[in-house]
Chains A and B, each alone.
Chain A
Amino acid sequence: MSEPKEPNAPIDAAKSVTEGRRPETVHSDSGRKPEMVVPKGRIMPREDRLAPPAWEGGRSVAPNADGFSTIGKRNRKVEGLAKVTGRAVYADDITLPRMLHAKLLRSIHAHARIVSIDASAALAMPGVHAVITGKDLPVYFGIIPWTEDEQALCETKARYVGDAIAAVAADSELIAEEALRCIRVQYEVLPAVIDIDSALEHPEWQVNEKAETGNISKQVRLEFGAVDAALANSDEVVEGHYWYEGSTHAPIEPHCCVAEFDATGFLTVHSSTQVAHYLHRDLAKVLGLPTQRVRVIQPTVGGAFGGKSEPFSLEFCAAKLAMITGRPVKILYTREEVFYAHRGRHPMRLHYRTGISKDGMLTGTDAKVQIDGGAYSSFGLVTTYYSGQLLGAPYVLPTYRFDSTRVFTNKPCCGPKRGHGSVQPRFAFECQIDKLAERIGMDPIAVRRKNLIGESTRTVNGMRVTSNGFPQCLDAVEKASGWKDKFRRLPYGCGIGVAGSMYISGTNYCIYPNEMPQSAVQLKLDRSGRATVFSGCSDIGQGVDSVLAYIVCEELGLTLRDVRVVAADTDLTPVDLGSYSSRETFMVGNACLDAARHLREKIAATLAERWQCGKGEVVLANGVACCTSEPREKAMTVREAFQLAEAKHGTLGSVGWYQSPKLGGDYRGGTIGASPAYSFTAHVAEVECDPETGQVRVCDIWVAHDCGRALNPVTVEGQMEGSAYMGFAEAILETMEYKAAAPGHAFGLHHGPSLLDYRLPTSLDTPRLHSIIIESVDPEGPYGAKEAGEGPLHPSVPAIANAIHDALGIRCDALPFSPPSVLGMLRIGDARAAWEAARAGFHKTGAR
């Protein structure tokens, strides 16, 4: 696919950071591939882009001299009570007068040309109000501007079983459903490809005609340093073939939206989305409306995990049907339709060669990756880069190369799922390290310690790293798990494994090129003593609304009940790009800190003048304002302080925004993976395996995560546990299987698009999760905070794989580690001998 305007970020050699332990040029010019040359016509980033204000003492310190009053405390989430008492309003709770219900007709073929659609019988049914097809919504859209390859309803052909081709609005869901069965679609069935190999073998069976050639969605080849020489000079090189199975997000709340189009031609869409701003833009584009005549409101969202981070058919169809009928229209996906909307974890086949020296220094990696993208691009361009851009982190990897190809297949489209694109390479690389450690007879934690990238450094592919708590994470999980007494010492069937990771706190650029802020907050203070925060940020359960409230309380001395958060309503709130790439706490948190700090400065100045004291002596905390030198005499309520400030300065309001610094490597794609701050995680997993059945029980996972500063430890722990759980689920249970062709039926059917057949672990299956927060206090994060929502997922899978090796002597290189696959491996060769050899080798070297 052509990418004329793909963002690129030439960057000077780091000035403010020191080079890594083993400095390397980013890549040699001789080895530079055309792909890596910065194209002409680059429109971003600019050198003079916005920079957030600098606060005295930095942004990681508490505003009050005596420390934090709200930040770091185990507070409630602001929406918690509404959720647990059933009062929170989700999209499906919205019912408007005269509202219709719509359903989508979906393709029963994996690949078929749509010859004709006859909806006359459906339209004639009582209670049916409108039917639309691809011809009614012909405009292509896509979350990445250079790969717009989707239509709300397929116009000429369907590309997977479940692809949407028509929509019916009726008085009830049941009538709409019955009407769907009356629509006559004439298909011309086309040959289909449902896996990577068949997609590559049959370029003539093109899934997506927007692809430049055959079924290639995106190819990335990047090389940093002299990889081949480094591997040739390594004492040991391990070669591994890995398979990362696809999985889906399975949020509890299915996608749902309600659209209304009023008499003035104004469209309002309430949708369960995590990217209200991008949805706003695409609705206007596809429906041909001016953006200022469209409003997107995100109600409470019941989980997303990346599965709601782009527009979907339902939003365009509900809007179009509302415009046609003049009545509000609701579409609620069934669970089965959520599986067809998908955008989940990409299946990846990874081939790695990794080298190490005898003393445990990693030398390089050669990675070849094939990615199964499904029928459309989604975020696939970015995914393809992510399949290699964080490969070595959090270790010094002096040289590496990755060659990644994403292909189109006739299946629901893959996209971003928690840990977008980097969970799969993490699995492969952390297993490689485990194998290399075994080869050189070294403790796998010791090998990791040998190769730490450290703080204030730059990776070989140009990523700037600031704070780094990874060494402490390793120490913490080693100690808490009792690693030294367990590794290579547990009885046969029991084992322990370790893995690490590093993840972004937001990406440095917007998905569409522009120089405007990525996050923003407007803050209003009221003389009643109340604050209202307006922000376009998207709370999908992770707690960003609460983060805004905590920051406002901290800065302005309010208690939580005195702050209201108004979020994700494009009419009321300033733009925030949405909840993806673990960006919200860092970016909108910073925006909020700035907005609140501006007002705090005004209030503090007002009080300092009144009390004749220094501004630094003014404290605002827990509803009270006072002067630290004479707290009894010079004190008032925060409300009174607001009133004094309002009288002096006029109506109290402020704005804050966040724009990241210019970051990334000097090559095409060098901005992908570039983040203003990185989180770090280490896991130790302990397993008990049943050699008779192959069943693996993950008993414990110790998770140490460096989130910079925990703004609320409870919600950080929640993210850590949820992430570890999700990784564990992918490791042990989840599969996105499609029925193969068989006599009597076509292929491409999802094997079981329901929560019965798509097996998520229940609470009974879930390991004991032990969360250990590490606080490295990042210089650029709000109060030093970094992300916690996605990073802690990454090490789960390799830590479990490595633990199974310790338990049984087998290498689980393909997900999921299901009983049949584990038992199968135990039968190949002499697994028991491999298990004994691993411990003998380890103990012989004296557990270095």
Chain B
Amino acid sequence: MLTLPVFEWVRPQSLDEALAFFTQAPAESLWIAGGTDAVPNLKHRLHEPKRVISLAGVRELHYVREDDAGMHLGALLTLRELSEHARVRAEYPALAKAASLVASPQIRNMGTLGGNLCLDTRCTYYNQSYFWREALGFCLKKDGTKCHVVPQGKRCVAAHSSDVAPVLIALGAEVEIATPPAQAGGAASLRRIAVDTFFVGDGVHNNVLLPGELVTRLIIPAASRGLSAGYQKLRPRGAIDFPMLSVAAAGRTQAGAFTQLRIVVSALGAKPRVLGQLDALAVGKAADEAQFSAIAAAAYKQCHPLINVPYDHEWRHEMVPVFVKRVLRDAFPKG
């Protein structure tokens, strides 16, 4: 069996305590929620922290609440809870579906919403053992200087692989981030940004979180109520696999014509891609097969899968329009 490295394990009981633990040694600490991604990465020596801070005891981040502002989802909800929650399923079935398509039942029992959002990017040259990466000559995401996907590339293109993120972006969700206090004894500060702006195009660290910061909540604003949404995931098997391609869509129609549409495609590069030109392509146009095809054709032009995700990248490119059409049919079944 692969060994775990030696590290200190702490299990705070509150958010404040958790942030304080991190502040003590910000460069050498690692958050861990469900551990379904972090533990294999530790075994592969992709993370080499001195301290691992388990969030399992922070019960205050474990809830589903609704108010006038919208639906509030605690970051430590498990993916299973999210996929089975009656209110989530009623209001945002595409989000429940995305959560239900992560990995396997065992992993959904452990994995969390916040963890899936912050999932480390993936690459066939990166998610490997230390021995394998040594034989490769390492890569610029970890221990090395070269990219094996884009040989002259200076920026890591490891793939964003979260299932929940594309749906959250399509739904216009916001993420709440806790920042540790500037000095000991101070109060943590909270900020909110759109999930759309949470990700950055750098596979080494593909989100805006600074060391010590923590995702505490996802908010689907009241304005998103009633959106028609869908999620489609391309993967080799009926379980376990990370997406080879994922597509989320959310929008509204009136009298059979789009009034609003957002489509998010992922597993392409370090951040999810929000399709452009949809205002021109969709809004005011009929939500029918012909228009779905036109949108799909635009998606094909905008999305360029890379070789660092399993299966032939040209085939995955061809699957972009197929899956865009499928997700549109799911979200707008009446066409």
A interface residue numbers (CB < 8 A to B)? 106, 108-109, 161, 173-174, 177, 254, 332, 334-336, 692-694, 733, 739, 742-746, 749-754, 756-757, 759, 761-762, 764-765, 818-820, 823-824
Residues of A within 8 A of B147 (CB): 744
Q: Is the CB of A174 within 8 A of B3?
A: yes
Other than the given A739-B136, A746-B137, A824-B315, 16 more pairs (CB < 8 A) read A108-B131, A108-B135, A161-B135, A174-B3, A174-B5, A174-B6, A332-B1, A693-B234, A733-B236, A744-B137, A749-B132, A749-B135, A752-B310, A757-B127, A764-B239, A823-B318
A618 to B238 CA separation, bound complex (whole angstroms): 57
Is B182 in the interface zone, CB < 8 Å from A?
no
| Shortest beta-carbon distance from B157 to chain A in Å | 14
Q: Is the CB of B151 within 8 A of A336?
A: no
Q: Is the CB of B315 within 8 A of A745?
A: no
Q: Is the CB of A761 within 8 A of B129?
A: no
Q: Is the CB of A733 within 8 A of B135?
A: no
Is B48 in the interface zone, CB < 8 Å from A?
no
B interface residue numbers (CB < 8 A to A)? 1-3, 5-6, 104, 124, 127-129, 131-132, 134-137, 146-148, 151, 234, 236-241, 310-312, 314-315, 318-319, 322
Residues of A within 8 A of B314 (CB): 820
Contact of A818 among B124, B238, B311, B318 (CB under 8 A): B311
Residues of B within 8 A of A750 (CB): 132
Contact of A749 among B136, B239, B322 (CB under 8 A): B136
Q: Is the CB of B124 within 8 A of A751?
A: yes
Residues of B within 8 A of A733 (CB): 236-237
Q: Which of A692, A744, A752 has the most CB of B within 10 A?
A: A744
User: With A818-B311, A820-B315, A823-B315 in contact, is A334–B1 under 8 Å at CB?
Assistant: yes
Contact of A177 among B3, B104, B237, B318 (CB under 8 A): B3
Contact of B146 among A109, A336, A744, A818 (CB under 8 A): A744
Q: Is the CB of B237 within 8 A of A765?
A: yes
A757 to B237 CA separation, bound complex (whole angstroms): 11
Q: Is the CB of A743 within 8 A of B151?
A: yes
User: With A173-B3, A174-B3, A744-B151 in contact, is A765–B238 under 8 Å at CB?
Assistant: yes
Q: Which of B5, B6, B128, B311 has the most CB of A within 10 A?
A: B128
Q: Is the CB of A762 within 8 A of B239?
A: yes
Residues of B within 8 A of A818 (CB): 311
Chain A residue with the shortest CB-CB distance to B122: A756
Q: Is the CB of B237 within 8 A of A759?
A: yes
Q: Is the CB of B131 within 8 A of A693?
A: no
Chain B residue with the shortest CB-CB distance to A176: B3
Q: Is the CB of B134 within 8 A of A108?
A: yes
| Shortest beta-carbon distance from A164 to chain B in Å | 12
A761 to B132 CA separation, bound complex (whole angstroms): 24
Nearest 3 A-B pairs (CB), nearest first?
A764-B238, A820-B315, A108-B135
Residues of A within 8 A of B312 (CB): 820
A757 to B136 CA separation, bound complex (whole angstroms): 17
Q: Which of A761, A764, A820, A824 has the most CB of B within 10 A?
A: A820
Contact of B124 among A106, A752, A762 (CB under 8 A): A752
Residues of B within 8 A of A759 (CB): 236-237, 241, 310
Residues of A within 8 A of B134 (CB): 108
Residues of B within 8 A of A820 (CB): 311-312, 314-315
Chain B residue with the shortest CB-CB distance to A755: B240
User: With A744-B137, A818-B311 in contact, is A336–B240 under 8 Å at CB?
Assistant: no
A323 to B312 CA separation, bound complex (whole angstroms): 50
Residues of A within 8 A of B146 (CB): 744-745
Residues of B within 8 A of A743 (CB): 151
A694 to B315 CA separation, bound complex (whole angstroms): 10
Residues of B within 8 A of A753 (CB): 129, 132
| Shortest beta-carbon distance from B320 to chain A in Å | 12
| Shortest beta-carbon distance from B172 to chain A in Å | 30
Q: Is the CB of A693 within 8 A of B319?
A: yes
Q: Is the CB of B148 within 8 A of A742?
A: yes
Chain A residue with the shortest CB-CB distance to B135: A108
| Shortest beta-carbon distance from A704 to chain B in Å | 27
Residues of A within 8 A of B239 (CB): 762, 764-765
Chain B residue with the shortest CB-CB distance to A823: B315
Residues of A within 8 A of B322 (CB): 692-693
Residues of B within 8 A of A756 (CB): 127, 240-241
Residues of A within 8 A of B315 (CB): 694, 819-820, 823-824
Q: Is the CB of B3 within 8 A of A819?
A: no
| Shortest beta-carbon distance from A320 to chain B in Å | 22
A818 to B237 CA separation, bound complex (whole angstroms): 11
Residues of B within 8 A of A764 (CB): 237-239
Residues of B within 8 A of A254 (CB): 1
A819 to B318 CA separation, bound complex (whole angstroms): 11
Q: Is the CB of A745 within 8 A of B240?
A: no
User: With A177-B3, A742-B148, A818-B311 in contact, is A336–B237 under 8 Å at CB?
Assistant: no
Q: Is the CB of A745 within 8 A of B137?
A: yes
Residues of A within 8 A of B311 (CB): 818-820
A744 to B135 CA separation, bound complex (whole angstroms): 11
Residues of B within 8 A of A752 (CB): 124, 128, 310
21 residue pairs from A and B, CB less than 8 Å apart: A173-B3, A174-B3, A254-B1, A334-B2, A335-B2, A739-B136, A744-B147, A746-B135, A746-B137, A751-B124, A752-B128, A753-B129, A757-B127, A762-B237, A762-B238, A762-B239, A818-B311, A820-B311, A820-B312, A820-B314, A824-B315
Chain B residue with the shortest CB-CB distance to A697: B238
Q: Is the CB of B136 within 8 A of A745?
A: yes
A694 to B319 CA separation, bound complex (whole angstroms): 10
Chain B residue with the shortest CB-CB distance to A766: B238
A751 to B310 CA separation, bound complex (whole angstroms): 10
| Shortest beta-carbon distance from A152 to chain B in Å | 19
A692 to B321 CA separation, bound complex (whole angstroms): 10
Residues of B within 8 A of A174 (CB): 3, 5-6
A161 to B131 CA separation, bound complex (whole angstroms): 10
User: With A332-B1, A820-B311, A820-B315 in contact, is A757–B124 under 8 Å at CB?
Assistant: yes
A694 to B322 CA separation, bound complex (whole angstroms): 11
Q: Is the CB of B151 within 8 A of A742?
A: yes
Q: Is the CB of A336 within 8 A of B131?
A: yes
Chain B residue with the shortest CB-CB distance to A107: B135
Residues of B within 8 A of A334 (CB): 1-2, 129
Chain B residue with the shortest CB-CB distance to A337: B131
Chain A residue with the shortest CB-CB distance to B310: A757
A750 to B124 CA separation, bound complex (whole angstroms): 11
A161 to B238 CA separation, bound complex (whole angstroms): 31
Q: Is the CB of A109 within 8 A of B151?
A: no
| Shortest beta-carbon distance from A179 to chain B in Å | 12
Residues of A within 8 A of B148 (CB): 742, 744-745
Residues of B within 8 A of A761 (CB): 237
Q: Is the CB of B132 within 8 A of A336?
A: yes
